[in-house]
Amino acid sequence: MSIIGNSMRKSKLQAFHEKVHTWYAQHGRQDLPWRKTDDAYAIWISEVMLQQTQVKTVLARFYYPFLKRFPSLQSLAEASEEAVLKQWQGLGYYSRARNLHRAAQLASPALPNHFDGLIALPGIGKNTANAVLAFGFHQPVAILEANVKRVVARIAALETPTDAELWQQAERLLDPTHPFDYNQAMMDLGALVCTPKAPDCAICPANNICEGKHDPARYPQKRVRKAVPTREMAILIEEDSESRIFVQARNSRFLGGLYGMREWPKESFIPEANDRQLGAITHIYSHFRLEAEIWYRRYSEPRNSPDWVERKTLTQLPLSQADIKALTVAWPDFRPALPHSEA
């Protein structure tokens, strides 16, 4: 049985908690803005941003501008999806922004302060729900983000743990009297000490209970990642005689709500006589690699549908990073307007 199983002495667990809190007080990243507040809304925003994005990126470019633009759950709920996606531009994984918006509309004027209410909202899983409860409402629940998973797996010497096993161990380790600081400390332990490579076990406050400290690289075993497929596409930039560009709102689940140019599988695109290939781009998504040829087509007459917009208008629309790259191939000086309050 793991040392943090049912047989673990209460005194040993208390000693671990004391060491963790002492270490966090001295070395923890307590200056992070979402650690200086117990505003459940702001904490929720930070948790969602941090799901697929590094702390330094969220802090430098996105957290403050987003909260300035949408300072409350109600303001987010009342915004248009287009405004939310524009503010999210550059963070990627746009389903996060769409889920934030839908969840705000369902929960407004305030986030639920109980697990069942939070888990029912779009985009909120167990870890995000528990983070909001622990940090926003100071409830005695464990969290299990990537860094904490590694710490727990090493403490319990779990080579190939399931999420259920990790949750069980995380809940046994929890300090229920100080859930805010304890959970923040566990994240920092994983980020600063119990790192994926070369963990510093000698200074780790968990070394008195850690079963994996003699061979930390063994725990947990890395899962073999599947090879990311490549999609070869052709993106067509179309401009009319009045220098307006054709864009359309995407309605697919992937990149839904963003605007973009027309595109085809590379083998299906048949260029017209006057089309010009301008170059090519590469963009990496979470589940595939995009390699796209960029084509340009100029029309000799004006086009009058609403899908044709001036370049200045185009800069105001929420665009994917791949489409921004494509437009930069056509016009190297093209720059999307910065999200609100980032300018």
**pLDDT tens column, 20-70:** 999 999 999 999 999 999 999 999 999 999 998 999 999 999 999 999 999
Question: Residue 343: its pLDDT value, please?
Answer: 45
47 assigned to active site: yes
The residue type found at 81 is E
Nearest Cα residue to 92 out of 251, 324, 313: 324
Kindly tell me if the per-residue pLDDT of 1 is higher than 90: no
What are the structural domains, with CATH classification, of the chain? 3-209 (1.10.340.30), 230-330 (3.90.79.10)
CA dihedral 43, 23, 8, 196 (to 10 degrees): 70
In the set 47, 145, 238, 263, the catalytic residue is 47
Kindly tell me if the per-residue pLDDT of 2 is higher than 60: no
152 touches 174 (CB < 8 A): no
Q: Band of the pLDDT at 18, cuts 50, 70, 90?
A: very high
User: What does the pLDDT look like over 115-164, one tens digit per residue?
Assistant: 999 999 999 999 999 999 999 999 999 999 999 999 999 999 999 999 99
Q: Write the CB contacts of 343 (distance below 8 Å, at least 6 apart in sequence).
A: 337
Distances (CA, A) of 55 to 59, 187, 190: 6, 12, 14
User: What does the pLDDT look like over 161-206, one tens digit per residue?
Assistant: 999 999 999 999 999 999 999 999 999 999 999 999 999 999 999 9
**φ, ψ for residue 47, nearest 5 deg:** -60, -40
Question: Residue 30: its pLDDT value, please?
Answer: 94
User: What does the pLDDT look like over 207-257, one tens digit per residue?
Assistant: 999 999 999 999 999 888 888 899 999 999 999 999 999 999 988 778 889
